[in-house]
Structure 1
Amino acid sequence: MSADHTLLLAHTVGPGRGADLRERLLDEGLPADRVVAAATPAETDAHVADADGIVVGRLPEGLLDRADSLRWVQVLSSGTDYLPTEDLADRGVALTNSAGVHAEPIGEQVLGYMLSFERDLHALARQQAESRWERREGGELRGKTVGIVGVGAIGTRVAELASAFGMEVWGVKRDLDTMPDAVDEARPPDALHETCLAADYLVLACPLTDETSGLIGGDELRLLGDAGVLVNVARGGVCDQDALVGALRSHLIGGAALDVFEEEPLPADSRLWDLSNVIVTPHMAGSTPHKQKRWAEIIAENSRALADGDIDGLRNRVV
């Protein structure tokens, strides 16, 4: 690592998380005198001018204007829709995300959602809370079809787990040449309606972009049908939430498992809380005790690439 390469963990990483992440980066071999963990906005401001690499939870307002030496921004999320990607590109600043860090926990949670609907576990939990004994007939995932919209790291892990349970896996992705082996039927984005029609479970795992904003609306939900279940672990804006609420209330679709919403936290007066055919989780599908280690591996790899002047070698590069 170059002696003059400075990596700043901005205060938006979080003081405790930043300190822990710094220690893990030192364990990965980064020099202690070139890795700074800021706990406060003032500490970020004090070091930002000298940093050529910055790790952020969110990008502090005005930071780019103060970062005179900046060449690389690393975010701790997979999604980058909240970042000024065009501004970064104009400034010649590379942006990398944390794709892959959350694939395992999100994949497992998606599998849990599907098992819950297939075995009626969400309804049985409500019965238990009411001390009500009522037998229900459960189904099986084997032989069912899951359509995955967005087959990146997360979608790939969902495909692998679903395939292991004997499900037929359809994947929707722009680059069909990189579709994983676990996908049985590869489809381009313009085959979304065909995928909705075939799917018993439709899993949204794509980034939020201009192309995917409002991707799932009334037409797509009608094609999913009254036995179909929508699973959203992407972003709330990928699905028209009003259309979804209407489809759920009228039983146009069978149900929905939602970890992301148009407004977060989900307002207390949202109709989604009270619908019996909905599972609501508070944007926590990506949580895992292993994320710090996985973050450190990506950040250390990218930090070394930057120090070596290998911008093209940055892992998970978005810009």
Structure 2
Amino acid sequence: PPSAGLDMMLTPEVREMGLQVTNASGLHAAPVVETAWALTLAVSRFLKHFGECQQKHVWDQFTPYDLNDRTAGVVGLGGIGRRYAKIAAAFGMRVIAVDKHAPEKPDEVEELWPLDRLNDLCAEADVVMIACPATSETQGLIGAEQLALMKPTGIIVNIARGGIIDEPALIECLNEGRIAGAGLDVTKVEPLPEDDPLWDTPRLVITPHIAGWSNDRSRSVVRFFCENLRRYKAGEPLQNLVDQQQGYPVPGA
């Protein structure tokens, strides 16, 4: 598929047929990470609030949050997570991460932990950025327990898949002001229904699953497909070959 997500592709029928499946993991990392940072900054700098003030012609000098010397916690250190971490370091942030497969630690990441230390990351990070694959294991990965561990000044951003965050728990958390805010490019149900409570949740910025979109999207997908087709015909290893048990490409597998 022309994206990283495989939740609609790896059906039981596809698995039984023994087909080789690849995805476009990392292909759209640049625009996805730009969106992740747009959401991070929109929340930390209260741009939603200031946009509302502009519409009302109100000059409200509300004090935003600084990111310098704060901690970014990245959940999933694939191509998107690594790129986000590199930019976080450029902002002067300390970077920690969790990843199921614990790849080699990039220089910009200070601590790389296994996924079972997710709670430690949520408690320590000022910004939690979700970039892990959507699998049965990651559904509801961020729930009431993890949100309760976050700092009152904490921000959570999700550009992965909607089901990874427990949305009712997030809504309750934001309504009660227990964290500073959240940015979502993805929701469990898409398009998001008009009457969904997420729309009216305070300190929440929503974009309609457009993180991977760019003016070069179609060309880059076609180039990637043609290269994999060439490799397949030549009997060479395919790029981004998916481990169908895990549900995503596994480096070195």
Q: Provide the TM-score with structure 1 as the length reference.
A: 0.73
Q: Percent identity of the aligned residues?
A: 38
The answer to whether the Cα contact below 8 Å between 1:205 and 1:233 also exists between their aligned partners in 2 is yes
The answer to whether the aligner puts 1:213 opposite 2:139 as a matched pair is: yes
The residue correspondences of 1:215-230 to structure 2 (distance < 5 A) are: 215-230=141-156
Q: Which runs of 5+ in 2 are unaligned?
A: 245-253
The residue correspondences of 1:190-205 to structure 2 (distance < 5 A) are: 190-205=116-131
Change in Cα spacing, 1:317 to 1:179, as seen in structure 2 (3 Å) is farther
Per the TM alignment, residue 180 of structure 1 is displaced from its structure 2 partner at its CA by 2.8
Name 1:267's counterpart in structure 2: 193
- Aligned equivalent of 1:97, options 14, 23, 33: 23
Q: Secondary structure at the match of 1:94?
A: coil
The answer to whether the aligner puts 1:240 opposite 2:161 as a matched pair is: no
Q: Deviations over 1:249-308 (max 9, x none)?
A: 111222110111111111111122122300011111111112222212211211011101
Distance 1:169 1:186 in 2: 9
Distance 1:85 1:269 in 2: 30
Name 2:37's counterpart in structure 1: 111
Distance 2:178 2:162 in 1: 20
The residue correspondences of 1:1-319 to structure 2 (distance < 5 A) are: 75-310=1-236, 313-318=237-242, 319=244
Equivalent residue letter for 1:155: G
Show structure 1 runs of 4+ deviating over 4 A.
none
Q: Secondary structure at the match of 2:103?
A: helix
Distance 1:293 1:156 in 2: 24
The answer to whether the Cα contact below 8 Å between 1:173 and 1:179 also exists between their aligned partners in 2 is no
Distance 1:259 1:204 in 2: 11
Q: Deviations over 1:164-194 (max 9, x none)?
A: 1111111111222333332121011010000
Alignment RMSD (CA, Å): 1.4
The answer to whether the Cα contact below 8 Å between 1:88 and 1:94 also exists between their aligned partners in 2 is no
Distance 1:109 1:262 in 2: 18
Which structure is higher in RCO with an 8 Å CA cutoff and minimum separation 6? Answer: 2
Per the TM alignment, residue 85 of structure 1 is displaced from its structure 2 partner at its CA by 5.0
The answer to whether the Cα contact below 8 Å between 2:42 and 2:205 also exists between their aligned partners in 1 is no
Change in Cα spacing, 1:136 to 1:246, as seen in structure 2 (3 Å) is same
The answer to whether the Cα contact below 8 Å between 1:76 and 1:295 also exists between their aligned partners in 2 is yes
Distance 2:45 2:195 in 1: 29
Per the TM alignment, residue 163 of structure 1 is displaced from its structure 2 partner at its CA by 1.1
Distance 1:305 1:86 in 2: 26
Distance 1:183 1:116 in 2: 23
Per the TM alignment, residue 87 of structure 1 is displaced from its structure 2 partner at its CA by 3.4
Equivalent residue letter for 2:234: D
Name 1:51's counterpart in structure 2: none
Q: Provide the TM-score with structure 2 as the length reference.
A: 0.91
The answer to whether the Cα contact below 8 Å between 1:123 and 1:276 also exists between their aligned partners in 2 is no
Q: Which runs of 5+ in 1 are unaligned?
A: 1-74
Equivalent residue letter for 2:219: K
Distance 2:79 2:69 in 1: 24
Distance 1:188 1:143 in 2: 24
Q: Deviations over 1:2-55 (max 9, x none)?
A: xxxxxxxxxxxxxxxxxxxxxxxxxxxxxxxxxxxxxxxxxxxxxxxxxxxxxx
Q: How many residues align?
A: 243
Distance 2:192 2:212 in 1: 17
Structure with greater Cα Rg: 1
The answer to whether the Cα contact below 8 Å between 1:205 and 1:234 also exists between their aligned partners in 2 is yes
Change in Cα spacing, 1:227 to 1:139, as seen in structure 2 (3 Å) is closer
